[in-house]
Amino acid sequence: MLDSKFVRENLEAVDAAMRSRGNFWDKDEFVSLDAARRRVIGELETLQSQRNATSKTIGELMKTGLQQEAEAAKEQVRSINAQIEQLEAERAEAENALDALVMAMPNLPSDTTPYGQSENDNVEIRTWGSPTVFDFAPKAHWDLGPELGIIDFERAVKLAKSRFILLAGLGARLERAIINFMADTHAARGYKEWWCPILGNADTLTGTGNLPKFEDDLFKTTNGMYLIPTAEVMLTNIHRDEVLDAAALPLHYCAFTPCFREEAGSAGRDTRGLIRVHQFDKVEMVKFATPETSFDELEGMVADAENILQLLGLPYRVISLCTGDIGFSAAKTYDLEVWLPSYNGYKEISSCSNCTDFQARRANIKYRDAAAFKGTRLAHTLNGSGLAVGRTMAAILENYQQEDGSVLLPEVLVPYMGGITRIG
């Protein structure tokens, strides 16, 4: 979340940033709540000073035998205490309202984030490879999968509901192969792998910005736990309420987890096949860095995600999201979009973001560098998909399909498939 003091001292700049993100926060409400909080604090300090001064006189009055005056002073203290109690309740109310307002505000975009109102204003940075060209009519993965007997959409609906996936035979093996290939590749590039819970408590989801704003997008259990929407939630919160040693930074973490999202309101072609489902697998990257290095670390994270796509031989492009399209916690985001013939276009397969100190403030993640400064400072956190497994499978099926209906497998996956080079 943002620092209330920073918001107060940079009100117009924050207001402009919120508007650039399409978030028309209530500036007047913030000013009103903040003024009420400061007024109450001022009155509390005055009353506390009066109480302290009056309390000191009580003993002196009693020593000199001025019992009646001492009792009057005690009554005055009791009256002041009642006023203080009322003012403390007012302060708590104002602070809770102010915290709720600030908690709902997104991160401030980086100066390097392009200005724009929607995804139409995103900026293409580079492309890799060329869109796949076929000398036959290619099929969409939602047709290829069932025909090859590796994806069963109908039975998945029977077992759960729509937009869940059932993989069979070589489809299940391909899912495992992709996961292991991604995890091994990231580990070889310096990421420490973790195996995480897939249920998190409210503090964990709040730390990354999923709560309270996006509760409707989460699956919630009957005892207040949440199915995680991404391993970012767990990896980031590993160091919640901790002070890291600057000498250990940056930290590079990765993890595979199933991910669960309600995807409320989504419709259209994206709900077909493997693109937008309620449960999907993903290998996630998370970094902890200092403010001085975090944007360089973001570029490195994007390169790590690109490496996966390049090894798989999948055409893609990198775009920089504009202010109106970046996620709630992000200050700067790059999306990697893979070429999908069924869309005759690119589709997001990874999103890499620098959240600066936004999540660290919520989760209380700090670092100490005794040689550089006194005390502690908030760390910067970064996250990125490395990659979404279902969308990777869809891209492989569509880009590597053959005229006879079979699918060749990328060379790097063959060892993970036990030597199998083709499905079908």
| Buried/exposed 144-161: b ≥16 CB within 10 Å, e otherwise | bbeebebbbbeebeeeee
pLDDT tens digits for range 319-355: 999 999 999 999 999 999 999 999 999 999 999 999 9
Alpha carbon 208 to its chain centroid, in Å, reads 5
Alpha carbon 90 to its chain centroid, in Å, reads 33
Instruction: In whole angstroms, give the CA distance from residue 13 to residue 20.
Output: 11
**Sign of the alpha-carbon dihedral angle for 255, 260, 266, 272:** positive
pLDDT, mean of residues 83-105: 94
Can you give the C-alpha Rg of the chain in angstroms?
28
Give yes or no for residue 359 having a pLDDT over 60.
yes
Structural domains of the chain, ranges and CATH numbers in brackets: 4-103 (1.10.287.40), 119-423 (3.30.930.10)
Q: What is the pLDDT of residue 65?
A: 64
CA proximity to 357, closest of 407, 419, 294: 294
Q: What is the pLDDT of residue 154?
A: 97
pLDDT tens digits for range 371-390: 999 999 999 999 999 999 99
Q: What is the pLDDT of residue 172?
A: 98
Q: What is the pLDDT of residue 271?
A: 77
Catalytically active residues are 261, 276, 348, 351, 391
pLDDT, mean of residues 5-18: 96
| Weakest-pLDDT range from 51-60, 73-82, 261-270 | 261-270
| Weakest-pLDDT range from 53-67, 184-198, 276-290, 338-352 | 53-67
Distances from the Cα of 95 to the Cαs of 70, 108, 193, in angstroms?
Answer: 36, 22, 40
Q: What is the pLDDT of residue 28?
A: 95
pLDDT tens digits for range 20-45: 999 889 999 999 999 999 999 999 99
pLDDT tens digits for range 258-311: 999 997 655 666 778 999 999 999 999 999 999 999 999 999 999 999 999 999
| Weakest-pLDDT range from 80-94, 111-125, 131-145, 148-162 | 80-94
Q: Which residues pair with 347 in a beta bridge?
A: 338
Q: Percentage of the chain with pLDDT > 70?
A: 98
Write down the mean pLDDT value for the chain: 95
Instruction: In whole angstroms, give the CA distance from residue 151 to residue 146.
Output: 5
Instruction: In whole angstroms, give the CA distance from residue 377 to residue 385.
Output: 27
Task: Give CA angle at 77 (75, 79), nearest 5°.
Answer: 70
Q: What is the pLDDT of residue 77?
A: 82
The three state secondary structure string of the chain is CCCHHHHHHCHHHHHHHHHHCCCCCCHHHHHHHHHHHHHHHHHHHHHHHHHHHHHHHHHHHHHCCCHHHHHHHHHHHHHHHHHHHHHHHHHHHHHHHHHHHHHCCCCCCCCCCCCCCCHHHCEEEEEECCCCCCCCCCCCHHHHHHHHCCECHHHHHHHCCCCCCCECCHHHHHHHHHHHHHHHHHHHCCCEEECCCCEECHHHHHHCCCCCCCHHHCEECCCCCEECCCHHHHHHHCCCCEEEEHHHCCEEEEEEEEEECCCCCCCHHHHCCCCCCCEEEEEEEEEEECCCCHHHHHHHHHHHHHHHHHHHCCCEEEEECCCCCCCCCCCEEEEEEEEECCCCEEEEEEEEEECCCHHHHHHCEEEECCCCCCCCEECEEEEEEEEEHHHHHHHHHHHCECCCCCEECCHHHCHHHCCCCEEC
CA proximity to 300, closest of 190, 178, 179: 190
Instruction: In whole angstroms, give the CA distance from residue 31 to residue 237.
Output: 32
